[in-house]
Structure 1
């Protein structure tokens, strides 16, 4: 398939650059198993899921990963921490007028915390901080909100660009699992009262989630690597759900990639797994775990749009997106949601 097969026209005014006042007040477009779409409010998810179904949620937490600083010569730099190697060493993106060489020293914040460039690993810089990285991020960092917001992070993002169920011990993402941003505590409690279960995986979202696909033939695209953990308890809950004939609903593309990676790692049979994944899900992929998906609306020509097209199909997704544009759904991280059923025709 060609990259151009996943293009669509999106008016700029439909990009949601700020969240709604209430998390669960978004709209929801349901794309059913026959490829028909239906308009709802997000709180209607209570009626669209069944007693005994299982939600798979990503419990990662977003770091304040964007740091502003300067070079020894005074030139401005921006450091985006992508992955922690240990307490002092990280793999980072660095924006500067000239690419820094090994041995270059950068200085972060008003405290001028020293960061030394050690070298490169693929497209990332390996850097050493003079102080513990998480402490530096807490004091000096900004939340790395998506580039299409076209604004700096603000106070509202501190709460709203995190899920209500994030695990503080899993502070390692540079982007939120945004489908989960629609869930507030009241809605989660109502789902639990109805008998809809939940289980957690962890996938630390990297900045690569925003990178464009640069190959015309999508099969030639190489995905960025992200660390994930699918624990044994979650695997057991998925097995029990399948055994009683209920549905496994992934909340977001990151939860989808986590559980499908765990199955892929064990010859298509789901089992507990920890590791780096570069799984690329696009039309033709045979899902091993996920029956339904709650997700946001995605960028044209993105790997996320390709993933959702694999669960339904490309024509169904693009038809639904055309309807969403015409009826002014809000797009991307702070936008509205979709519930997508696996297409049966």
Structure 2
């Protein structure tokens, strides 16, 4: 498909720069079959059914934004994907000033040796020393807020908490699974009281999620790989829920993409551990999920393509036009949508 089909105009004042307070006070646009409802995240328990299973991503965002020097050249690095105990792939600002073998001096005595350049333009960085890289990043790094927020205001200490979900446990993401930012202990209690089950998986979101689609046709776009894991017990739970007539509701496109990567043509979800570069566009047949809770996405993005595959492109273009006209807040710190396609 032509990427232009996924374009739309978004006023700058619709981009949320801070999350709602409390988190579950955000608005929620519900597409339930043919119905369109303007509700709030706190209404979620009554929009699902007892016996449904909500699946969250328990990845934890690391302080993956680094600023440093290579000689007299100022260098910025956003870590993207781990490749070894001390080796990360990174998108580097001012990369033309960095060659294979150069040492980059980051803050607080943290240094890394630049490696080869990847096809996507990223550089390999090998961190020096013996301290765990996680400790180095805590000392020298900052939260890598999405560019559509970071370009409008400075990153501050508040973002360290705001840009982390209540489920965050497995360190390794450089972007938050933002649909889960809306959840609070009180909302989780209400979900449990409604008989809705919950489970977690892990997908470490990479910085590639923010890269624009440069191709003119979706067939020519190459997705970045991200590492994920669904253990056997969680896969068994998901299969049992569907076998008894419940629905799998993915919380966030990250959860959805990993579930779909683990689901076979027979709809059975199997344990999964490794990289996934699944790219979901209209025409895709969903195998493992029955609904999605997600935020509002960038025009021409792979994530808007994904929700269009789930609900239909015309439906999502109309829904986004309604959301813009109705004052919904967009992107990582913005409002939510609950997408429930008609069941076959």
Q: Does 1:112 align with 2:114?
A: no
Partner residue of 1:102? 100
Partner residue of 1:317? 316
1:146-195: CA deviations, max 9, x gaps?
Answer: 0001233212111110110111xx21101000000000111112111221
Asked if the contact 2:79/2:207 (under 8 Å) is kept, the reply is no
4+ aligned runs moved over 6 Å, structure 1: none
Asked if the contact 1:64/1:141 (under 8 Å) is kept, the reply is yes
* Deviation of 1:99 (Å): 4.0
What SS does the corresponding residue of 1:324 show, helix, strand or coil? helix
* Deviation of 1:117 (Å): 1.1
Q: Does 1:158 align with 2:160?
A: yes
* Deviation of 1:343 (Å): 4.0
Write the mapping of 1:298-337 to structure 2, written as runs, cut at 5 A: 298-337=297-336
Asked if the contact 2:53/2:247 (under 8 Å) is kept, the reply is yes
Partner residue of 2:59? 60
**Separation in structure 2 between the aligned mates of residue 159 and residue 113 of structure 1, nearest angstrom:** 24
Q: Does 1:205 align with 2:205?
A: yes
* Deviation of 1:268 (Å): 5.4
Asked if the contact 1:51/1:194 (under 8 Å) is kept, the reply is yes
1:188-214: CA deviations, max 9, x gaps?
Answer: 121112211111111100111011111
Partner residue of 1:283? 282
What SS does the corresponding residue of 2:198 show, helix, strand or coil? strand
Asked if the contact 2:31/2:341 (under 8 Å) is kept, the reply is no
* Deviation of 1:113 (Å): 2.3
What SS does the corresponding residue of 2:263 show, helix, strand or coil? helix
Write the mapping of 1:13-92 to structure 2, written as runs, cut at 5 A: 13-34=13-34, 36-71=35-70, 73-92=71-90
* Deviation of 1:344 (Å): 5.6
Q: Does 1:129 align with 2:127?
A: yes
**Separation in structure 1 between the aligned mates of residue 219 and residue 118 of structure 2, nearest angstrom:** 24
**Separation in structure 1 between the aligned mates of residue 147 and residue 41 of structure 2, nearest angstrom:** 25
Q: Does 1:219 align with 2:219?
A: yes
Shift of the 212–97 alpha-carbon distance from structure 1 to 2, 3 Å rule, reads closer
Shift of the 85–217 alpha-carbon distance from structure 1 to 2, 3 Å rule, reads closer
Asked if the contact 1:87/1:134 (under 8 Å) is kept, the reply is no
**Separation in structure 2 between the aligned mates of residue 8 and residue 70 of structure 1, nearest angstrom:** 39
Bigger shift: 145-154 or 331-340? 145-154
**Separation in structure 2 between the aligned mates of residue 313 and residue 327 of structure 1, nearest angstrom:** 21
**Separation in structure 2 between the aligned mates of residue 64 and residue 184 of structure 1, nearest angstrom:** 23
Partner residue of 1:188? 188
What SS does the corresponding residue of 1:340 show, helix, strand or coil? strand
Shift of the 284–240 alpha-carbon distance from structure 1 to 2, 3 Å rule, reads same
**Separation in structure 1 between the aligned mates of residue 111 and residue 209 of structure 2, nearest angstrom:** 28
Bigger shift: 215-224 or 295-304? 215-224
* Deviation of 1:97 (Å): 6.1
TM-score, scaled to structure 2? 0.95
Structure 1: tracts of 5 or more residues without a match: none
* Deviation of 1:289 (Å): 1.0
Two-structure CA RMSD over aligned residues (Å): 1.5
**Separation in structure 1 between the aligned mates of residue 332 and residue 218 of structure 2, nearest angstrom:** 23
TM-score, scaled to structure 1? 0.95
What SS does the corresponding residue of 2:116 show, helix, strand or coil? strand
Number of aligned residues = 339
What SS does the corresponding residue of 1:98 show, helix, strand or coil? helix
